[in-house]
Amino acid sequence: MRRSIAAGGLFAAGSLMPVSPAIANEVGGQPVTQSPPQIEARIPATIAGDKVVQPRREVPVLHQTSILVVGGGPAGTAAAFCAKRMGADVTLVERYGYLGGLATGGLVLGIFPLYDRNNKQVIFGVGEELMKKLDVLKDGIIDRNKAPIYPTIDAEAFKYVLADMVLDSGITAYLDCWGVDAIVDSKGAVRGAVFESKSGRQAILADIVIDCSGDGDIYAAAGAAFEKVKTSIGLVSRIGNIDVVDMAPGKGSEDANAEHKPLIGKADEGRPSKGRVNDFNGHAGNSTPAPHVNWLNMRGPVGDALSVADLTELELKHRHGTWSNVEKLRQRPGNEQVYLTETAPQLGVRLSRLLDGCKKLTVQDIRNGVKFKDVIGYSGAYANAPEFQIPYGSLVPAKVENVLAAGRCISAEFEVADITRLIPVCWVTGQAAGLAAALCIQDKCKPRQVNVAKLQNLLHQQGAYLG
Amino acid sequence: MIFLRRVPRRIIQLTCFVGAIVMVWPLLPWRIAPRLFQEISPFVALSSSIAARSIGVGTVLALVVAVVSSFKKRWFCLYLCPTGFLLENTNHMGLRKTRWWRKLPPVGKYVAIITIAGAVVGYPVLLWMDPLCIFSSPFAVNKATNPISVFLVCLGLGVLVGATFVFGMAWCVRICPLSGLQDMLFAVRKALWTRLTASTSAQKFSAARRVFFAGAGGALLAFWARRSGAARYRKSDTLLRPPGAVPEDRFAGLCIRCNNCVHACPTKIIHPDTGHEGGLAGFGAPVVKFDRDYKYCLETCNACTQVCPTGALTPLALQPKNKYIIGEALVDNNVCLTALGKKECDACELACPFDAVHIAWDEEQYNAYPVVNDKCIGCGACEVVCPTTPVKAIRVWTQKPA
């Protein structure tokens, strides 16, 4: 049964009228103790001297919930599903009009790193559940269980699966809603978040907030310490009409056992000339479930993901560059009919803020293969890094209460975060954060006081791999 | 009486044999122990000192051996040489009971002359015939990663033992350059002693003529080998020598194929060459191949440079070793996963211990490529982590002048 659309959630966010506390009460199933807030007329910002000043104003409370998940990407959706499954009242807020974040909107379709160095899968749990749902769809996912080849998903199929799961699970979801601020009480604990949407600025009160925004917007606003990093920002695209004859056997990109596959371009005869650029003499991008369509990654220049000027510049230049690269690709024999299917709706921001958590996951930890007592999951082996454990401490801010981080903005050193930012690891941290938040509600405790043994037990029950 | 005199020789020989094994294994705590073992040989010490224009640590030991040998004929062979001990015992068990090899000409003498003459030109042609390096070579077998390497490191001693079993002591008595050199030293000393009175002028003349021709032949051979070695290196793309290697025109000559460097390498990336890389002249000489997963020339290691007895690998401290250019990493952008937009890969950048590879964004091409800068010494760290198959996108190639 699909419910919740009519009951509140999705429609409430889109409706012009703010939701009355009475409706919110009905939806969330939680008693609203406060008196109904008075909605004042919106006062515009004014100029005072040479400064623009926003007057202090009351923000209407849109909704009250137990667990608020900010960000509907891989981590956010995983957190919301797992918390909801525990019977908690969960609200999910997403900035774009679809779910899946960079996995769908960013066209990061390759699901890696899933395997350890011996090609054994080490990431299960909610990620595996989602991939199983994609399995049954036509062209939903390819290269499943073919280690060391990583599976590749279809963005539209994944959007469909996630939307379905939200509709089925009864999670209250607000899309097209941009989390802009944290609500912090007098003791410094987070009590919810403020959102900007077409309905204006509104607040959602919550007992626990899970920050899956990717940029750590909420914990940063709440005053948690973080490290700001800059990485390359690219823009993934999909190209269609790849030559059928050439590409038919070329599913996947790292099959060590299949010499016949055109995994790579035609190598130079003998010594590569220094400084020779890629002339696309070969196969650009990776196969996707959609026939004759490849996804083409772009690394991009280093930029500041927290600067609107950088983001704007890259959004514009990347689309120009992608188009001209496809034109170049068409010059190669066999690729004449290639066209640009789409550029990703979202920029490929890799990292921006990294939390200073109870435990900072370090390169040394990975090299030493440290086993954590509060392990909540594994990351697969990636590049020259082996598989490694992720501790619960890396999700919990060192100081601020009532907020958990999941996804790419967790507490890790830059080089480690470069791995934990990847899709399956976001599933792992998201699932753990969701279950931890649900335990906080159950046991009436703070995130840092969560009974780790209980959490690990729950993760086990939900099929997660903890070593 | 004869019995009593023999027993001590056997005991000294056995002691030296065990001592040799202890040195080359190496069971001694000093890293240069294997190298000292070969430097005891006056043949190696003399030829390599001349060829490398430098004197090694062990030359003092070689001098002692040379002086004693010039007074007591073949003293080294009879008492110290572990190869001699091995072959002598093989001969006892062997098929030949007659001493037919006494009729053979003294080949070893001319081998020594040819080699020393070549050394003057900078290329000691037949230095690899030294019995001590032939003895120590098979000890590198624990670092041989494939059957061909196993075969190559065991080849020398295997041939000697086999030939001695079938044909008798021909090698020790007539062919070995070390025994030839000892004979010469003995003869020269004796000649000086007796002030050239005993021999007739005709004998002297013919002997001098033979020595001259052998020397000239050796020098010519050395000259040709240096030229062809240099030419081959210029043409080669994949020939990589271990760190500290002297220029290629002299390397194959100076290298005595003792396989000490193969033995010393902790990552087993040094292999004896089948001749595929260095040609016939380079047969058995060490080459570096990055054919093992995640194994490269470590930035924390200079073991191979410390064990070379001839200076073919210059002894380098860690710092200069990490500046020695083994080769240069080059990227094939038509293979690289990042350049082809296939994957988020910066394995080479992360792996590089010298900060020499960076994934650079090219605004013109609107794409990213690994770019290698001048800090690259060709340690292979990038090549061994590159995930592409079957061809690596980044590989270490023979360095070419710009």
Q: Let me know: does B179 contact B172? Beta carbons within 8 Å.
A: yes
User: Per mean pLDDT, which range of A75-79, A457-461, B39-43 is the poorest?
Assistant: B39-43
**Across the strands, what pairs with A48?**
A51
Measured between CB atoms, which of A266, A302, A384 is closest to B351? A384
pLDDT tens digits, residue range A249-274? 443 333 433 333 344 455 666 777 76
B191 falls in which pLDDT band (50, 70, 90)? confident
pLDDT at residue number A147: 78
Q: Let me know: does A295 contact A343? Beta carbons within 8 Å.
A: no
Contact (CB<8Å) B340/A302:
no
pLDDT for A3 beyond 80: no
Q: Which residues contact A147 (CB under 8 A, 6 or more apart)?
A: A114, A115, A119, A120, A121
Domains defined for chain B, CATH in brackets: 2-231 (no CATH), 325-402 (3.30.70.3270)
pLDDT at residue number A283: 64
Measured between CB atoms, which of B332, B342, B361 is closest to A285? B342
What span, in angstroms and rounded, lies between the C-alpha atoms of B293 and B322?
21
Q: Would you call A144 helix, strand, or coil by DSSP?
A: coil
Contact with chain B for residue A279, Cβ under 8 A: yes
Contact with chain B for residue A58, Cβ under 8 A: no
Distance in Å, alpha carbon of B281 to nearest chain A alpha carbon: 23
Contact (CB<8Å) A267/B335:
yes
Query: Taking a contact as any Cβ pair under 8 Å apart, which residues of chain A between 415 and 434 contact chain B?
Result: 415, 422
pLDDT for B33 beyond 90: no
Mean pLDDT (whole number) for A310-329 = 93
Contact (CB<8Å) B361/A232:
yes
Mean pLDDT (whole number) for B79-100 = 89
Which residues in chain A have Cβ-Cβ distances shorter than 8 Å to B337?
Answer: 253, 264
A102, A233, A271, best to mutate vs chain B, most B CBs in 10 Å: A271
pLDDT at residue number B334: 80
Mean pLDDT (whole number) for B206-235 = 87
Average confidence score pLDDT of chain B: 88
pLDDT tens digits, residue range B90-103? 998 888 888 888 88
User: Per mean pLDDT, which range of A200-204, A347-351, B93-97, B253-257 is the poorest?
Assistant: B93-97
Higher-scoring residue by pLDDT: A23, A455: A455
Mean pLDDT (whole number) for A193-222 = 95
pLDDT tens digits, residue range A239-255? 988 765 443 344 333 34
pLDDT at residue number A143: 87
B158 token code pair: 């295997």
Distance in Å, alpha carbon of A354 to nearest chain B alpha carbon: 20
pLDDT tens digits, residue range A275-311? 656 655 556 788 888 888 888 899 999 999 999 999 9
pLDDT tens digits, residue range A392-442? 999 999 999 999 999 999 999 999 999 999 999 999 999 999 999 999 999
Q: How many residues are there in chain B?
A: 402
Nearest CA in chain B to A303: B361
pLDDT tens digits, residue range B107-132? 999 999 999 999 998 899 899 999 99
Residue B277 CA: distances (Å) to CA of A404, A452, B253, B272, B327: 58, 59, 15, 10, 14
pLDDT at residue number B356: 94
Residue A379 CA: distances (Å) to CA of A115, A417, B266, B388: 8, 11, 30, 22
Distance in Å, alpha carbon of B340 to nearest chain A alpha carbon: 5
pLDDT at residue number A18: 40
pLDDT tens digits, residue range A39-97? 556 678 889 889 999 888 889 999 999 999 999 999 999 999 999 999 999 999 999 99
Whether omega before A31 lies within 30 degrees of 0, making that bond cis, reads no
Higher-scoring residue by pLDDT: A376, B143: A376
Domains defined for chain A, CATH in brackets: 9-33+60-229+352-461 (3.50.50.60), 232-349 (no CATH)
pLDDT tens digits, residue range A122-177? 999 999 999 999 999 999 998 898 877 889 999 999 999 999 999 999 999 999 99
Mean pLDDT (whole number) for B52-68 = 84
pLDDT at residue number A14: 34
Q: Let me know: does A445 contact A465? Beta carbons within 8 Å.
A: no
Counting one residue from chain A and one from chain B, the pairs whose CB atoms sit within 8 A come to 115
* Start-end of H helices in A296-344: 308-330
Distance in Å, alpha carbon of B376 to nearest chain A alpha carbon: 13
pLDDT at residue number A171: 95
Helix axes B147-167, B82-93, angle to 10 degrees: 60
Contact (CB<8Å) B340/A282:
yes
Which residues in chain B have Cβ-Cβ distances shorter than 8 Å to A301?
Answer: 361, 363
pLDDT tens digits, residue range A13-43? 333 334 444 444 444 444 445 555 555 566 7
Helix axes A423-443, A74-85, angle to 10 degrees: 30
Average confidence score pLDDT of chain A: 85
pLDDT at residue number A259: 34
B293, B335, B344, B350, best to mutate vs chain A, most A CBs in 10 Å: B344
For this complex, say whether ipTM is above 0.85. no
pTM to 2 decimal places: 0.79
Nearest CA in chain A to B393: A267
Which residues in chain A have Cβ-Cβ distances shorter than 8 Å to B348?
Answer: none
pLDDT at residue number A115: 93
Count the alpha carbons within 13 Å of A49 in the hemisphere toward its beta carbon: 1
pLDDT at residue number A107: 94
pLDDT for A10 beyond 50: no
Q: Let me know: does A76 contact A430? Beta carbons within 8 Å.
A: yes
Residue B43: name the closest of B57, B18, B62 by CA: B62
Mean pLDDT (whole number) for B51-73 = 85
pLDDT at residue number B5: 58
Q: Which residues contact B376 (CB under 8 A, 6 or more apart)?
A: B325, B328, B329, B352, B354, B356, B357
pLDDT at residue number B345: 83
Percent of chain B past pLDDT 90, that is, above it, reads 44
What span, in angstroms and rounded, lies between the C-alpha atoms of B287 and A258?
29
Contact (CB<8Å) A278/B367:
yes
B233, B331, B333, B373, best to mutate vs chain A, most A CBs in 10 Å: B333
pLDDT tens digits, residue range B249-300? 889 889 999 999 999 999 999 999 998 888 888 889 999 999 888 899 999 9
Which residues in chain A have Cβ-Cβ distances shorter than 8 Å to B339?
Answer: 277-278
